[in-house]
Amino acid sequence: MARQKNRKNLKIADVISETAGEGWLYSDIVKDHFFHPINLLLKDPKSGEFDAEGQIGSEACGDVMRMWIKVNPKTEKIKKLKWRTFGCGSAIATTSIFSVIVTEKGGMKIEDALKVRPQDIMKRLGGLPARKVHCSVLADKAFRKTINNYFRKIGQHQRIITEGERVIDKKLNITDKDIEEAVLEGAKTINDLQKRLKVGIGDPATLLEIEQLLRFYKKKYYGSEK
């Protein structure tokens, strides 16, 4: 009896997972943002069009999320947010609605936009299947990465968010996570890291630890320290 009920539920599901053996139902809002994503940027922007960009993930390892922001320097409101992702429908929908949340009504201030949580995103979408809740975190992580890059660009290193990460360069607030992500994005040498992060330039004493982390992450993801 239970098996027949499960099969019936699978038939009315929007998506059926062959491996998990279950069906997922999506709200009409999720479907709308998946089929008609808002603020999606399919081509790379022109130089200087945005104030900062950020990327999480790696094409070699799975989902990739890129994000670009334009900020009003006087009010610190998010004037524009564009994004692009190689991910599932839930990742597309959650990022689409997140871009709406932080730019609607003239745009949120940075400090308020950083308070938007995955739960807020899911509420605006009318919920997500339990197995897809993790997708709501992608937009949040990409936004924080982009904001951190904005803080670096304007020289406000003290505002960089380092929650749950080990700070390597205390003068620039650069963490082990920043170095890991740089390696995933293609950094292979200390010079590559310094071009991306300026790491070690303000505090040369950190270079030894940075070199060790660089070797560790290269071996972890590419099987070689070279």
Which residues are part of the catalytic machinery? Answer: 61, 135
Distance CA 196, CA 169 (A): 14
Q: In this structure, are residues 169 and 180 in contact, taking their beta carbons and an 8 Å threshold?
A: no
Distance CA 120, CA 69 (A): 20
* Closest CA relative to residue 39, chosen from 96, 88, 107: 96
Strands 78-86 and 174-175: unpaired
Give the gyration radius of the chain's Cα atoms: 20
Sequence-distant (≥ 6) Cβ neighbours of residue 112 within 8 angstroms: none
What do you get for the CA distance between the two ends of the chain, in Å? 59
* Closest CA relative to residue 89, chosen from 136, 126, 47: 136
